[in-house]
């Protein structure tokens, strides 16, 4: 099985695929993409991924795009250890969670990430013409960048809404563990939803937003500690994959604003 992954060190979507590959014990060839250099928007890369985003998995020469699709694909082509429940109702619960994960916490995490790190890093000091030109090159999320703006960043209301959505996600993780008896979101089995939620929660923790779930969501807090103890976590979050490490200039004493 020949596997290649086009990914970014600090991309949360890349991180969840790296976690899945580690959980499966699969070997893969790494192609690290650098957003600052526009690697993801080259004509060559966009032949593989017309959305101009990472990650992209190449399996025996064929590209598979979209991180949630990739982790499901990996579970199908390498079913052991399984990351999908055998019970049909539990599989439905997993799909419900996966849909929620894509629609709520995934876009929510982008708001504080860009406000605190990526906007000042890449766009704040660019000319308005350059900023607009960069937006026009992006096949996806033009509206996201226009809402963010070059200098002002996202509004206080947008940031507050994003934080509320992350809080809701944490409450649902906590409730899911209680309802299904833990130790994972859907019960005894570690599944794709544990995989895909991990980078989102880790990004928020890394930026200093742990108080969103601490101390009043004990089951979720304990779940996150179990997550970090898995060998796949260390494999996926190697040196400088956390934004507080890679872009320490945006953090004061390692803590968020």
Residue 124's CB is within 10 A of a number of other CB atoms, namely 14
Which residues make Cβ contacts (< 8 Å) with residue 31, sequence separation at least 6? 4, 5, 6, 7
**Of residues 42, 56, 44, the one with CA closest to residue 11:** 56
How is 31-70 classified by DSSP, letter by letter?
Answer: EE--GGGTGGGSHHHHHH-TT--S-EEEETTEEEESHHHH
User: What domains does the chain contain, in order, with CATH numbers?
Assistant: 3-77 (3.40.30.10), 88-231 (1.20.1050.10)
Could you tell me if 32 and 9 are in contact, meaning their C-beta atoms sit under 8 angstroms apart?
A: yes
- Structure letter (DSSP) for residue 240: T
Q: What is the pLDDT of residue 255?
A: 40
Q: What's the CA gap between 53 and 193, in Å, rounded?
A: 21
Q: What is the pLDDT of residue 36?
A: 87
**Of residues 177, 108, 138, the one with CA closest to residue 42:** 138
Q: What's the CA gap between 217 and 6, in Å, rounded?
A: 36
How is 152-194 classified by DSSP, letter by letter?
Answer: T-S-HHHHHHHHHHHHHHHHHHHHHHHHHTSSBTTBSS--HHH
Stretch (H or E) spanning 238:
none
φ, ψ (nearest 5 deg) of residue 126: -80, 160
Residue ranges for the chain with pLDDT beneath 70: 253-257
Which residues make Cβ contacts (< 8 Å) with residue 227, sequence separation at least 6? 194, 198, 201, 233
pTM recorded for the entire structure: 0.95
């Amino acid at each position: 099985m020949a596997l290649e992954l086009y990914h970014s060190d600090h991309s949360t979507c890349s991180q969840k695929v790296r976690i899945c590959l580690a959980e499966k014990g699969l070997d893969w060839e790494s192609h690290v993409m650098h957003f600052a250099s526009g690697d993801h928007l080259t004509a060559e890369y966009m032949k593989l991924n017309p959305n101009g985003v990472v990650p992209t998995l190449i399996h025996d020469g064929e590209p598979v795009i979209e991180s949630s699709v990739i982790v499901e694909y990996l579970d199908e082509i390498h079913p052991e250890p399984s990351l999908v429940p055998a019970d049909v109702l539990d599989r439905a619960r997993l799909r419900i969670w996966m849909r929620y994960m894509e629609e709520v916490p995934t876009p929510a995490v982008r708001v504080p990430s860009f406000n605190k790190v990526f906007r000042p890093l890449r766009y704040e000091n660019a000319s308005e013409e350059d900023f607009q030109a960069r937006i026009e090159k992006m096949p996806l999320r033009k509206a996201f960048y226009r809402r963010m703006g070059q200098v002002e960043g996202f509004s206080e209301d947008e940031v507050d809404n994003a934080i509320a959505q992350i809080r809701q996600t944490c409450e649902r993780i906590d409730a899911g563990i209680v309802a299904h008896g833990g130790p994972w979101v859907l019960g005894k089995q570690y599944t794709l939803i544990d995989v895909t939620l991990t980078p989102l929660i880790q990004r928020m923790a890394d930026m200093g937003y742990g108080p969103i779930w601490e101390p009043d969501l004990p089951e979720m807090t304990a779940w996150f500690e179990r997550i970090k103890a898995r060998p796949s976590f260390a494999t996926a979050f190697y040196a400088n994959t956390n934004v507080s490490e890679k872009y320490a200039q945006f953090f004061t004493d390692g803590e968020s604003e």
